[in-house]
């Protein structure tokens, strides 16, 4: 137990039972008794017996794990515990009072059993509130701690999922880019060297993106332009690229490498399968309270919706992890020979 928690516990114990003892002493005149050293001693005994009995009860609660139980399961155990604590309190008090001969100044002596029963019932008035305060305080604290631990675990899982997704995306991207450069080495060494520089720029941006959950659309678009420049080396006139970009969307946050993944998917499953090649068109605009990204590519789905399963699945997962259920991703075939990948990201209107 942390030292500050233990300190507060003992302050509450001593303060609470000390107040109870003071009330016992000050009530003597009401019982037509004088405040003597025996009356004061009786108050001290009451406080000591209360502290000892409830501290024993506290240790039982802690060691048996009752604080981890639901209220329904803990309540019967607490009722029995209260009864035994009251009984313990009565025994300690009677033994000390008789040993120190403090009873002569009180209302008289009764037999031991009667005194035990009387004190057990009488002290339920103090033990029951003590139990309720102690149990529910720790019950609420444990619930709060558990909620915080759950939130921390969810945040950790989210971070690990994002890192895992990025770790899968980057090697795939590097592999395809290197293939493009390899095709140039023998045919056009000068262009191959330029392509290496372009790839270096892309990798530098990619490594920086690894440290972020989101990047601006402008930075992501620059990576995609470099990527398409490399792919143009391989496809030449078979690859046409068009951009329809609303400049106001350039500062909008998107998951790093997401756009590149979708464009790569468009080329791999669309353009590369067309004898005459085709067109990739990137659209970025606002639609209501959403940033709408659309990647059109020549081709057909032909069951390839899941052909690049990880890339498309990772796009959905990343959007949900970062933006919740409001974000959306869908891919479909339109106009017979065009595939449309559409992303909707909610816009933060508070900015």
Residues 6+ apart with CB under 8 A from 242: 279, 280, 281, 282
Domain annotation covers residue 24: yes
Q: What pLDDT is attached to residue 105?
A: 43
Q: What pLDDT is attached to residue 305?
A: 47
Q: What percent of the chain is modeled with pLDDT above 90? A: 16
Domain annotation covers residue 143: no
Q: How far apart are CA 200 and CA 142, in angstroms?
A: 51
CATH of the domain at 164: 3.30.565.10
Check whether residue 251 and residue 168 sit in a common domain.
yes
Domain annotation covers residue 179: yes
pTM of the full predicted structure?
0.51
Check whether residue 301 and residue 183 sit in a common domain.
yes
329 - beta bridge partners?
Answer: 343
Burial of 315 from C-beta contacts in 10 A (0-12 / 13-18 / 19+): buried
Tens of pLDDT, residue by residue over 137-182, are 877 877 777 777 666 656 655 655 555 555 544 565 577 667 777 8
Q: Is 70 exceeded by the pLDDT of residue 49?
A: yes
Tens of pLDDT, residue by residue over 238-278, are 999 999 999 999 999 998 878 988 998 898 888 888 888 89
In the numeric block, which tokens belong to residue 160?
A: 């690990």
Number of domains making up the chain: 2
Check whether residue 200 and residue 113 sit in a common domain.
no
Q: What pLDDT is attached to residue 18?
A: 82
Q: What pLDDT is attached to residue 103?
A: 59
Structural domain that includes position 111: 3-122
φ and ψ of 288, to 5 deg: 65, -125
Check whether residue 115 and residue 199 sit in a common domain.
no
Domain annotation covers residue 49: yes
Burial of 316 from C-beta contacts in 10 A (0-12 / 13-18 / 19+): middle
In the numeric block, which tokens belong to residue 114?
A: 């009667």
Check whether residue 183 and residue 303 sit in a common domain.
yes
Task: Single out the residue in 77, 102, 122 at which a domain terminates.
Answer: 122
The mean pLDDT of the chain is 78
Tens of pLDDT, residue by residue over 278-329, are 999 999 999 989 999 999 999 888 654 444 455 677 788 778 878 888 899 9
């Amino acid at each position: 137990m942390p030292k500050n928690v233990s300190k507060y516990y003992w302050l509450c114990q001593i303060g609470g039972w000390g107040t109870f003892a003071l009330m016992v002493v000050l009530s003597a005149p009401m019982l037509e008794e004088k405040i003597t050293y025996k009356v004061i001693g009786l108050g001290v005994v009451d406080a000591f017996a209360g502290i000892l009995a409830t501290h024993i009860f506290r240790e039982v609660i802690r060691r048996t794990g009752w604080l981890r139980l639901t209220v329904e399961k803990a309540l019967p155990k607490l009722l029995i515990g209260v009864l035994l604590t009251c009984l313990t309190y009565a025994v300690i008090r009677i033994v000390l009072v008789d040993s120190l001969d403090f009873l002569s100044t009180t209302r008289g002596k009764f037999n031991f059993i009667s005194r035990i029963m009387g004190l057990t019932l009488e002290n339920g008035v103090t033990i029951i509130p003590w139990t309720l305060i102690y149990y529910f305080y720790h019950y609420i604290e444990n619930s709060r701690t558990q909620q915080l631990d759950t939130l921390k675990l969810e945040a950790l899982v989210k971070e690990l999922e994002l890192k895992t997704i990025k770790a899968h995306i980057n090697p795939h991207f590097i592999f395809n880019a290197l293939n493009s450069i390899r095709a140039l080495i023998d045919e056009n060494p000068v262009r191959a060297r330029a392509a290496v520089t372009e790839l270096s720029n892309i990798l530098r941006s990619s490594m920086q993106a690894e440290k972020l959950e989101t990047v601006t659309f402008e930075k992501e678009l620059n990576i995609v332009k470099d990527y398409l420049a490399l792919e143009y080396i391989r496809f030449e006139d078979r690859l046409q690229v068009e951009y329809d970009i609303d400049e106001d969307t350039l500062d909008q946050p998107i998951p790093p490498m997401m756009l590149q993944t979708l464009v790569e998917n468009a080329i791999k499953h669309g353009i590369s399968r067309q004898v005459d090649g085709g067109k990739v068109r990137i659209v970025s605009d606002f639609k209501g309270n959403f940033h709408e990204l659309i990647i059109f590519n020549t081709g057909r789905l032909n069951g390839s919706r899941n052909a690049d399963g990880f890339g498309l699945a990772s796009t959905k997962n990343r959007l949900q992890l970062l933006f919740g259920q409001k974000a959306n991703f869908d891919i479909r075939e339109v106009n017979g020979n065009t595939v449309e990948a559409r992303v909707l990201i909610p816009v933060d209107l508070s900015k």
